[in-house]
Structures are given as structure tokens and as C-alpha cells.
Structure 1
Amino acid sequence: MKNKYILYVLGLFVLVFTGCKEKEYEVPTAPSELQNDLIKRSLGPSIVGLDIEFAYAMALLPEKGKLATATVTASIAGAAGTYMDNKFYSTNSSGTEVGTVVGSPSVNSGNTTTVTYNPDISAATLRYFYRVPEEARGKEVTFTFSVTSTNGETNSYKSGPYPIRRMDVKKGLVLKDGTSSFLSIADMAVYDATFAAANPTKIDIVYLYRTLATVTFNHSLVAPTANAEYRPGVTLPAGLTNKTKLIKAWDIRDAQLILVNNLATSIFVDDIDLQQRNFNDAPDFAINTRAESGVWVETADGKYRAYIYVNSVNNAAKEMTVSMKRLVMK
């Protein structure tokens, strides 16, 4: 019985070894037809004024013909700034992307963007940047990518639909203590005291920088209605009465609000985040705000909600640079 068992095990070993023998690698045969493929490079919600980016790959066996044109047709025409790059990119030994021109600069005609290839191009991947227009707000947009070759072949790739958010984005607003220190959520703009005095209902937030012995104050955002202790040394223009609600957020580094792309983040504030934020019992001040942190905001009339991201602060200049996403609620 023991010998039979050993022979049985040896037989299984031989069977498994034979069945798992690695096959010799064979180079796959390239398809002879015109090929195309697509990836969406941009991440996060699609917002008016920002780009949706794609990489469109096209290839044909050189002996079959060459690439003639690459075209993208959007269901809604893109805003100014929509284009297809006429270069394909490779990475050199130092990790830097290097572009190689393969065609003429793209031409926009209505909702169509086209690159005409140079002669003798058989394969390329081109980047397409769709600048989301105002006409697309709250709607969906789709894209049809297509390629033609010199031998008359065509191929296409449909992508979408992509919902366009209702929110707005404004980046790189500079607040300066004592001068340009008044922020309007409605206008997504920074104003001085003269404008604030003439348009008091537009002012939702006052910026100030203070170093106090009693409390860590530093860079702060406060509503005009905040108690005087939260705006020391500030004399408000007459008529500023908006009781804006503010909630500090320490760890929401929105990738679409970053000005210098040296912060790795995959966080995105979306419409639903602003819609569902609970502002019950929220204070009307946010003191000691810091770079790479943020503040949730609801205006006094409830018409707007926003997320303000602090890009940077400067103690010596008493400045704060911010970017924001804002949603109309009413």
C-alpha cells in the first residue's frame, strides 16, 4: 500500500508539472485595421470654466497607410480654450515629458475640434482639452472621437455622458489685512473698504491678521456681525450686517483649488457636499485659519454655499490667498 501511494503521488506531480509547462512567448500579431482608444485624464467633478482632459490614441500599420486627421465632436461646443494638442508626449531619462509635433495646430469649428496630421505619422496619442462652457451648466456632455487614415479608413470612440456641476470656481483671490480685506461670496471677489461702504449687502466675510497675547488669532475670516473680540482693531463701513456662517475644515485639500501642483490629493468638493452641509449652530467667525485648510460658508440669506480653500498665508505681508467653489442654493 505504501509503494502504491508513493507511485500515485509521483504520478500527480508529473501530471501537474507537465500541465504547467510555460509556453514559449510569441509576439502578438498587430491588427491590420485602423485602431483607436481613449482614456479620460482629468479627475473630479466637471465644472464650468475648468477643463475635461482626454488622451486619444490612434494607430495603423505603416504599410496600410498613415493617419490623416483626428477629430473630436462635443455635444455642446466648448468654451474658448478648447483644443487638441498637436503633439504626442514621451518621457525622457530624467522623467520630463517631451512633446513631438505630429500635425498642425487644432482648429475649432462649432462643436468640432480637428488636428490634421503631418505626412508619415502612423501612430500617435493626442491630448484633448474641453473647456466647459456656461451653456453646459447642470447638463450632460458627450464626446465622439474619430480618426481617418490616408487609405480611407475611419474609426471612432464615443465617451460620456459627463454631468456638468452647477457650482462655480474662482481661484487665486488675494486678501490683505486693512486694504483688500472684504470678500463677497455672491461676486466671488475681493473688495476694499470704499467698495464695501457703497455695497454693504455684498460683503460676507472680513479678513484680518492679528498676533494677540491672549489667543492664537493669526489669519482669520469673520462675518461682519461677529462680536468685536473676533475683529479687533477693525472699523467696519456702515451697513455691513451679513451674518455669514463659517465652519473650519482642516483636512479638505481640494485638488481643483490648488494653485501649485505640488500637493498630492484626490479630494474634490462636489455639489452634493455643499448641498448636504449642516450649518445649524455654525458660528460667524473662523479664527486661526491655516494654509492648506479650508472653511465651509453659508451666506446670511442662504442663497449661496461655498468652500473656501486657503492656498497660502503670509504673516509679514498680512495676506491670505484663497480659492473657492460656490453653489447657488436658491
Structure 2
Amino acid sequence: MTKFKSYISFFAGAVLLLSACSKNDDYAVPSPKDQLQNDCIKRSLGPNLVNGNIEFAYAMALPKTKGKLVSAQVEATIPGAAGTYLENRSFYTNSSGTDIPVKIGDPSINNGNNTTTNFTVDTNAATLRYFYQVPEEARGKKVSFTFTAKSSDGETVTYKMGPYNVSKMDMALDLGVNDGDSTYISIADMKVYKKSQTVDPAKIDLIYMFRTFPNVTFKHALVAPAAPKEYLTDFVVPAGATNDVRLVKAYNLRDQQLARMQYGVFIDDPDFQAQDFSNMPDFFLNIKQEAGTWVETADGKYRAYIYFNVVDDTKKRMTISIKRYAMK
């Protein structure tokens, strides 16, 4: 039999966590009641992306004298993708600050808009994590959630979260380019292509090169196929590759979702719309690690932000991550 300390102390901890994350300075710790209660916080940060997760922590508790928890459910206004689930483990934080899981029930079941976990242990308090995998259907829309807990004495309590905007953006992480073969970057496909592959030249937006010259700082570079030949140096551009993208250099913009570091900065849909590509160059030379560049494709269909995760002079390679926004 699994028991927790008390529903009062449990909720105090949960609400304090909510207060720390909330921007609402008027939030106050609710008074304990002799009934089933619940609370919820959104744990994930940044824009909500298709194929990514929106994560919540859902807390529920009732006095021991009132019975035990029997089920928890989340209803989304748009059904989640296949990876959506509600944890069947409750988490509490020990004295060292470590989250400790305790199994409380069967694995969750998805049925349309609903995700349900049934409790199989005798407990009167739990905090379950809910992971909503954003489906393609939600792109550019809003999604809301209704959390519900039920107890053995017949009580039901709900908590509503949202609505949350789902971004129109796409994201691709950790794409490798190297001077030897993996050279072509396609914003349209969100992929890197090798010179040895058969590639539609119309899909080549940028060419990665590494060059060193006695009196010119070139090194790592991204160059459009249509850029002046002096920037392409000795590179032979494939026949039919004529895209002329525009680039806006950004040396100190470290998006947390691309960098996977705690910078606390997130590029979102309006940031792409605000960029001005007028009179911008079609090349970026001497690229540095943790810098980035805004890109607009030749047809104006896409804008993107490319972040340079790894820049390696020795191996003449880079690792890049991309966010892309469809303008049309």
C-alpha cells in the first residue's frame, strides 16, 4: 500500500511550485478543504511545436478519511498524436531535490480526445505528468486541456488549462554538414544532402564550405548557389542550382530549443515575420559556434533560423539545427 504524507502538505508543495512558475503575483495558497482538490502546472517552456510535447504536472489529493483516488483523465480539444500519455507513476521530491517516481496504476489509455489512467494502489494523493504530443492537425491552432480526478467516494474535480497556441514552425535538430560530402542544405526539405546523392538542384538553398586563404578569413561558410563566384571559390555548383537566399547574421541569438541549453530565449512565429531581408547578402563567412543566421528562401515561401551547435575547424564540419516558418 502506497501512502503519501498528507494531502495538505502535498498541495502546499504543488502550489508553491506553481507560484514560482507563475507570473501572477496575486496567486495565493488555497486553504485546505475537506474534499477532493486538484492543481496543475505547465512544465514545458517555449513555443509548442508539431511533433513536440506539451508537458504538465497534475496534482490531486483528498483527506484520508474521504477515501482514495481511483482515476485521472485529460481531455484535449484536439486529439494528441500517438505519443500522448498520462503517467502511471506519481512523482514527489525528496529532501535532496530529486524527483522520485511511485507506480500508482496501469499505463494510460488514449480514446479519442481523452487520456485516462486508472489507479491500482491505495493512495489519496498523487502528481501525474501528462505529455501531449502535438499532432499535425493542431498546427497554427489553439489547444486546451481539461484535467479530471475521481475518488472512491464519488467525488469528481476538474482543472482547465489553456488555450495554448501551437506554432506554425517546423524544427530539425543536429544536422551534420562537412566540407567533404554533406554539403547542400535544403530549407524546403529541412534536410542536408550529400554531393554524392542525386539531389533536385531546385531544393539546394545553401552550400556549406570550409576554406582557408593566406589573407582572407573565410573558414566555415554558408553560400547561396547564386552568390558571386568569388564567394564560391573553387566549388562547382550543380547545374540548375540557382537559388539566391538572403541571410541576416545573428551572433548572440541562442534559441533554447535549438541549442538545448538554458539560455531562456525562444524564437517564435512573430520573430520570423519581423525580419527584414532587404539588401542582405547571400553568404555568411567565418561562422562561429553558437551563432546563427536568419534565412529567406529565393521564392519567399520560407523563412528559417539556422543555429550553429558545433563548429569544428579540424574536421571541417558543423552541426546545425533549424527552425522554419512558412510565409505562404
Please classify the TM superposition score into its range, dividing by the shorter chain length. Answer: 0.7 to 0.9
Give CA deviations for 1:226-260 in whole Å, capped at 9, x if unaligned: 223323332221111100111110111111112xx
User: Bigger shift: 37-46 or 84-93?
Assistant: 84-93
Change (3 A) 1:29 1:94: closer
Amino acid of the structure 2 residue aligned with 1:304: Y
Give me the whole-angstrom Cα distance separating, in 2, the residues matched to 1:264 and 1:234. 38
In structure 1, the residue matched to 2:73 is: 71
Give CA deviations for 1:23-64 in whole Å, capped at 9, x if unaligned: xxxxx9731110000111111121211111111110011121
Change (3 A) 1:92 1:60: closer
Give CA deviations for 1:276-296 in whole Å, capped at 9, x if unaligned: 100000100011122211110
In structure 1, the residue matched to 2:245 is: 244
In structure 2, the residue matched to 1:226 is: 227
In structure 2, the residue matched to 1:257 is: 258
- Percentage of pairs with the same residue: 54
Give me the whole-angstrom Cα distance separating, in 1, the residues matched to 2:95 and 2:165. 39
Compute the displacement of 1:107 (Å): 1.4
User: Bigger shift: 310-319 or 93-102?
Assistant: 93-102
Indicate if the aligned counterparts of 1:49 and 1:169 stay in contact, CA closer than 8 A. no
Secondary structure, aligned partner of 2:230: helix
In structure 1, the residue matched to 2:204 is: 203
Give me the whole-angstrom Cα distance separating, in 2, the residues matched to 1:50 and 1:246. 27
In structure 2, the residue matched to 1:23 is: none
Compute the displacement of 1:91 (Å): 3.8
In structure 1, the residue matched to 2:123 is: 121
Give me the whole-angstrom Cα distance separating, in 1, the residues matched to 2:232 and 2:96. 51
Amino acid of the structure 2 residue aligned with 1:167: M
In structure 1, the residue matched to 2:215 is: 214
Secondary structure, aligned partner of 1:113: strand
Indicate if the aligned counterparts of 1:193 and 1:237 stay in contact, CA closer than 8 A. no
Compute the displacement of 1:116 (Å): 1.2
TM-score with structure 2 length normalisation?
Answer: 0.87
- Map residues 169-184 of structure 1 onto 2, 5 A cutoff: 169-184=171-186
Give me the whole-angstrom Cα distance separating, in 2, the residues matched to 1:112 and 1:32. 28
Amino acid of the structure 1 residue aligned with 2:101: G
User: Bigger shift: 141-150 or 234-243?
Assistant: 234-243
User: Bigger shift: 288-297 or 98-107?
Assistant: 98-107
In structure 2, the residue matched to 1:323 is: 321
Change (3 A) 1:209 1:70: same
Amino acid of the structure 1 residue aligned with 2:195: A
Give me the whole-angstrom Cα distance separating, in 1, the residues matched to 2:281 and 2:145. 45
Secondary structure, aligned partner of 2:182: coil
TM-score with structure 1 length normalisation?
Answer: 0.86
Return the index of the structure with the highest Cα Rg.
1
- Map residues 1-330 of structure 1 onto 2, 5 A cutoff: 30-92=32-94, 95-195=97-197, 198-258=199-259, 261=260, 263-330=261-328
Q: How many aligned positions are there?
A: 299
Compute the displacement of 1:87 (Å): 1.9
> Which runs of 5 or more residues in structure 2 are unaligned?
1-29
